[in-house]
Structure 1
Amino acid sequence: MKRKFIICLLWCATSLAAMAQSKSNKIEFTEYTLPNGLHVILHQDNSTPNVAVSVLYHVGSKNEVEGRSGFAHFFEHLMFEGTENIDRGEYSSLVQKAGGALNANTSFDRTYYYELLPSNQVELGLWLEAERMKHAKVDEIGVETQRKVVQEEKRERIDNQPYGSMGENVFSLAYTKHPYKTMPIGSFEDLNAASIEEFRDFYKTFYVPNNATLSVAGDINVEETRKMIEKYFSGIPKGTREIPRPDVVEPKQTEERRKTVYDNIQLPAVIQAYHVPEQGTDDFYALSMLTTLLSGGESARLPKALVDKQQKAVAAASIPFPTEDPGLFLTFAIANMGVEVDALEQAMDVEIERVKTEPLSDREFQKLRNQVESNFVQQNSTVAGRAESLANYHVYFGDANLINTELQRYLNVKKEDIQRVAKEYLTKNNRVVLHYLPKSAQPK
């Protein structure tokens, strides 16, 4: 009786927290679109004297043409080369001298730039992003410089890292038609073969206001910020080219695909990747909660079973890739010393089967809901996080207000939904399996 009462209290606490998010903790924002197509989202939070200025361009590696991979990621670097009004290499120094920081990232679906600044420097951030959009230098010097930078990054992060080629091998094996088969970093050969005109065409096609979302969050005055945005962005002409949106549908996988990779590693590893629906679908939310169940902390199912109890692995986790088109759900484990990959894979399969056959207890399910809620709140606890979330929700779902309502989509997931999606998607015919082995094990 006491246990049931405690579980009931936990359920009530979660429900009240969700209600609090939608009422007293609602994130207020203003959004509008300039005549040139630039979508603007402004969120005012005067609690601390800082501001995040960000621009999301709706272009990622999936927008690249065959034989010219790596363009989106390459431009992430190239756009810091300078503009007609900013000398080469000055982007970072201008922000740092103002007491701020900046960065960018690229995915399959987007390229995202941001500056974190003292709030009295918001105009600097807006000017820098407007310059990037209108006057970026796409010349031989910048292209050659960044070719070397990107190649060195690939060597450091992928080629010379243990298990660094995991992404390339997983996605190229899992996808046969869809552009997700190529990772955002692309290939040396494609970048080296590209002409300066091809880079300029990419810029003119994708780096236009009608393919961008400007999101500003923090210690701002909305009306004053609107005037600054009008000053810096309204004069940028709308792009005139059609923006390519791939409509390739990956054929349904009907049998398991396997690959063995011999890498510069000491401990073998097993990676399993299952095809799953795109982000925003009901099943995606259930699969996201399944991920937390499997690897949301040291006491989650995969590390608890494989690392703590059986000691077959030194690490084990599950990762869903939130993508605009149907993506992948990964589980992976790195073997403990002396453990064979076949035994490790079998142990991973056992844990997946447990989800399919054993109902979640009320206690475990409530813990899962609490974790998901905590992660969601933490994601939007900073102005930088809110700026990014608002832009993402607008671009991917056409609804920036999901920042206030998406949590309820997670909380709507039932125990039975988690078991159902595990049965439907985590099947052998729907997956690829990679075994990573030391190079010393390679047959001669």
Structure 2
Amino acid sequence: MKKQLHIVFVAIFSMTFLSAQEVAFEEYDLDNGLHVILHQDNSAPVVTTAVMYHVGAKDEDPEKTGFAHFFEHLLFEGTKNIERGEWFKIVSSNGGNNNANTTQDRTYYYEVFPSNNLELGLWLESERLMHPIINQIGVDTQKEVVQEERRLRYDNAPYGRWREQMFINLFEKHPYRWQTIGSLEHLASATLEDFKKFNQIYYVPNNAVLVVAGDIDMAETKKMVQDYFGPIPKGAPIERKTFVEDPINAPIKAEYRDPNIQIPLILMGYRTPAQTEHDAYVLDMISTYLSSGKSSKLYKKLVDEKKMALQVFAFNGSQEDYSSYIVGGLPVGDNTLEDIKKEIDEEIAKLQTDLISERDFQKLQNKFENNFVNSNSSVQGIANSLARYYMLYDDTNLINTEIDIYRSITREDIREVAKKYLNPNQRVELEYLPEQKEAN
């Protein structure tokens, strides 16, 4: 009886705790099409101002790749009212920090300030949108920065090009086949007019969402938003192409040799549905079940018990149009890539035929409950989530309700989704190998 009461108490406590985490927000549109989301949290004197633009690597010309990521750097160069090189100085001297990042679907800029500098954050982002200076000096400077980033993170980093090599095989028609870093040759040959045109098309208020989250007064914030962003002209409607991939019906064998590694890597990639689809959420659970933590099935089997692998992993890379499910490992000792592949396939086959145990299923649910709470534990995290759910999911309130999707997933769903997508004839098999040394 005591055990039953304890279980009931824990369940009630858990529901109460999660309910207390609900994020209140208000959203509306300015006349120029800018979507605005405000979240008030006066528990700490901190505010985040963030703008997400619906432009990523997938929006680029196939002959001019790397532009979205390039703009992540370029738009810190300066504006009509901010001298070149002064952006980061202004932020740091006023007690703030800022950054930006780019994916294949969107670009995100943000500042975190003491709340008495809210107006400064809004001014900075309105300047980036309204008065950017795109000139040859800035373009040439950032070309060097991006070239160095490419060398450090991709060309000279161990396993740095695995994603690039996987995606050129996983996608034939969709722009996901190239990476956000793009082609240095494309950037080198691009003209100043090319960059100005890209900015004119995508960096417009009707292609963006502004989020202000933290210690704010709602009425004052609305006035400041209108003052700084309202005068910005609306851009022309953006035409977006649709790309539909043919199904993969037979294994695609690929090989790449990396001069920066000594241990080979096996990667198996499956093309999976868009992140808004219910099956994408199930695949999130499957990847967690297989390789999240030392108690996960693949780690425990291949690394801990059989000591066949130095590392093993599985993850669902969720994206707007298609997702990608990647699983793989690094063999150790005399074990081969084929040995690792066989062991991984055995665990996937179990998922496709048997229901996972109730105990393992409850562990999964607990992990996703914990992730949900943690994702809303900071104002900065909340700002990012609000922008992302609005722009890429078309449902801002997922910040509160997405956990219900995970809660609705059953053990039967896990079995059926594994059976539907994770089959050997539906994947790319990439052998990522050390470069062969020529004999003297």
Deviation at 1:282, TM superposition (A): 1.1
CA distance in structure 2 between the aligned counterparts of 1:224 and 1:141, rounded to whole angstroms = 38
Secondary structure, aligned partner of 1:59: coil
Deviation at 1:339, TM superposition (A): 2.2
What residue in structure 1 maps to residue 184 of structure 2?
Answer: 188
- Which residues of structure 1 form unaligned runs of 5+? none
Select the residue among 149, 155, 178 that pairs with 2:151: 155
Paired AA for residue 17 in structure 1: S
1:262 aligns with 2:257: yes
1:291 aligns with 2:287: yes
What residue in structure 2 maps to residue 313 of structure 1?
Answer: 309
CA distance in structure 2 between the aligned counterparts of 1:28 and 1:443, rounded to whole angstroms = 66
CA distance in structure 2 between the aligned counterparts of 1:407 and 1:442, rounded to whole angstroms = 54
Select the residue among 57, 70, 85 that pairs with 1:74: 70
Secondary structure, aligned partner of 1:270: strand
1:45-82 per-residue CA deviation (whole Å, 9 max, x = no partner) reads 11111111100000001111120110100100101101
CA distance in structure 2 between the aligned counterparts of 1:273 and 1:15, rounded to whole angstroms = 41
CA distance in structure 1 between the aligned counterparts of 2:241 and 2:307, rounded to whole angstroms = 44
1:179-230 per-residue CA deviation (whole Å, 9 max, x = no partner) reads 1001111001111111111100100100000000001111111111111111
- Quote the sequence identity (%): 46
What residue in structure 1 maps to residue 20 of structure 2?
Answer: 24
1:322 aligns with 2:318: yes
Paired AA for residue 143 in structure 1: V
Select the residue among 225, 241, 248 that pairs with 1:246: 241
What residue in structure 2 maps to residue 392 of structure 1?
Answer: 388
RMSD of aligned C-alpha atoms? 2.0
What residue in structure 1 maps to residue 141 of structure 2?
Answer: 145
Q: TM-score scaled by structure 1?
A: 0.95
Paired AA for residue 29 in structure 1: F
Asked if structure 1 preserves the Cα contact closer than 8 Å seen for 2:30 and 2:230, the reply is: yes
1:327-373 per-residue CA deviation (whole Å, 9 max, x = no partner) reads 21111212223321111111111121121122211111001100011
Paired AA for residue 252 in structure 2: R
In the alignment of these two chains, the number of paired residues is: 439
Deviation at 1:441, TM superposition (A): 7.0
- Aligned pairs (5 A) from 1:121-132: 121-132=117-128
CA distance in structure 2 between the aligned counterparts of 1:179 and 1:10, rounded to whole angstroms = 49
Q: Which runs of 4+ in 1 moved over 4 A?
A: 8-16, 441-444
1:119 aligns with 2:108: no
What residue in structure 1 maps to residue 218 of structure 2?
Answer: 222
- Aligned pairs (5 A) from 1:40-439: 40-240=36-236, 242-263=237-258, 264-439=260-435
Paired AA for residue 210 in structure 1: N
Deviation at 1:316, TM superposition (A): 1.0
CA distance in structure 2 between the aligned counterparts of 1:325 and 1:278, rounded to whole angstroms = 5
Secondary structure, aligned partner of 1:81: coil
CA distance in structure 2 between the aligned counterparts of 1:219 and 1:305, rounded to whole angstroms = 48
Deviation at 1:99, TM superposition (A): 1.2
CA distance in structure 2 between the aligned counterparts of 1:299 and 1:395, rounded to whole angstroms = 35
1:60-109 per-residue CA deviation (whole Å, 9 max, x = no partner) reads 01111120110100100101101011011111111111111111100010
Paired AA for residue 329 in structure 1: Y
Deviation at 1:275, TM superposition (A): 1.1
Stretch moving more, 165-174 or 313-322: 313-322
CA distance in structure 2 between the aligned counterparts of 1:19 and 1:214, rounded to whole angstroms = 31
Asked if structure 1 preserves the Cα contact closer than 8 Å seen for 2:21 and 2:376, the reply is: no
CA distance in structure 1 between the aligned counterparts of 2:124 and 2:84, rounded to whole angstroms = 13
Deviation at 1:18, TM superposition (A): 5.0
Q: TM-score scaled by structure 2?
A: 0.96
CA distance in structure 2 between the aligned counterparts of 1:370 and 1:15, rounded to whole angstroms = 14
CA distance in structure 1 between the aligned counterparts of 2:346 and 2:229, rounded to whole angstroms = 55
Change (3 A) 1:18 1:176: farther
CA distance in structure 2 between the aligned counterparts of 1:280 and 1:149, rounded to whole angstroms = 35
Asked if structure 2 preserves the Cα contact closer than 8 Å seen for 1:14 and 1:370, the reply is: no
Secondary structure, aligned partner of 1:89: coil
Stretch moving more, 70-79 or 355-364: 355-364
Secondary structure, aligned partner of 2:21: coil
Paired AA for residue 34 in structure 1: L
Secondary structure, aligned partner of 1:176: coil
- Which residues of structure 2 form unaligned runs of 5+? none
